[in-house]
C-alpha cells in the first residue's frame, strides 16, 4: 500500500513528505535518567533525546525540516506516559509515532520492535532481523538500534547481543540499558539496585 504522505528521496528510500501545516514542538520531562527532550509533530513523537540541549533541538528541527512551534498540549500525553513509565506504572507506550526521521529499513525494523517486544522481554539483534523480514545481518540491526530516533518509546534497550547486553548509545551508555532492563524485570536486580537512582 502506498503512503500518500511519502515520497522517494534521491537514494530511493521513502521519506515522509511535509505538508504546509506540519510543525514540530518540543517538550521536556524530568526522570531519574535526567531531563529528556521529546519532539512531536501533528502525526506523533518523532524524536527523543536523553539530554535537552540546544544542539539536540537544532539537529532534530533541521532533520525534520519543520518549523518549531510552542504546543505544550500536543506533548502532554507523551510526557505523561514517560513519567508513568519511569514510575513503573506504564508497561506499553500507546503514543502515536511519526517515523519521518527513519529510512524504510529502519522503519521496518523499529516498528517490528515497537509492536512485538513487550515490557520485560528481550530479543537478540539476529532474532529481530529475522522477525522484521528485512533479511539484514545482526550488525546492521545494531546500527539501526544505535540510530533509533525515539529510544525508550521504541525500546531499542530490549535488543541484546546473543552473548550479552550489546551496546547502547542512549544516555550514559550500556549502564542505562542495564538499568532499564532491570527496571522492567528482564534482568535480575542486584542488592544495591534502586529505581530512584540513576546508573
Integer angstrom CA distances of residue 1 from 34, 56, 104, 109, 187: 40, 34, 14, 18, 39
- Per the annotation, the verdict on 156 as an active-site residue is yes
Angle, vertex CA 98, rays to CA 39 and CA 23, nearest 5? 55
Choose the catalytic residue: 29, 82, 117, 156.
Answer: 156
Cβ atoms of residues 123 and 117 within 8 Å: yes
- Nearest residue to 24 (alpha-carbon basis) of 41, 46, 47, 5: 41
The catalytic residues are: 156
Amino acid at each position: 500500500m502506498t503512503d500518500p504522505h511519502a515520497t522517494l528521496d534521491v537514494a530511493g528510500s521513502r521519506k515522509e513528505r511535509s505538508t504546509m501545516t506540519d510543525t514540530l514542538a518540543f517538550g521536556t520531562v524530568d526522570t531519574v535518567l535526567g531531563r529528556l527532550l521529546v519532539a512531536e509533530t501533528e502525526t506523533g513523537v518523532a524524536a527523543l533525546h536523553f539530554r535537552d540541549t540546544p544542539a539536540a533541538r537544532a539537529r532534530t528541527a533541521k532533520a525534520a525540516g519543520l518549523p518549531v512551534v510552542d504546543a505544550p498540549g500536543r506533548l502532554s500525553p507523551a510526557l505523561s506516559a514517560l513519567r508513568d513509565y519511569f514510575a513503573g506504572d506504564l508497561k506499553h507506550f500507546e503514543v502515536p509515532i511519526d517515523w519521518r526521521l527513519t529510512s524504510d529499513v529502519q522503519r521496518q525494523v523499529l516498528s517490528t520492535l515497537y509492536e512485538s517486544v513487550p515490557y520485560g522481554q528481550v530479543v537478540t539483534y539476529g532474532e529481530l532481523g529475522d522477525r522484521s523480514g528485512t533479511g539484514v545481518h545482526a550488525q546492521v540491526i545494531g546500527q539501526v538500534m544505535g540510530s533509533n530516533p525515539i529510544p525508550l518509546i521504541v525500546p531499542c534497550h530490549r535488543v541484546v547481543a546473543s552473548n550479552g547486553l550489546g551496546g547502547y548509545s542512549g544516555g550514559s551508555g550500556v549502564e542505562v540499558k542495564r538499568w532499564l532492563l532491570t527496571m522492567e524485570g528482564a534482568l535480575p536486580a542486584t542488592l544495591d539496585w534502586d529505581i530512584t537512582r540513576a546508573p
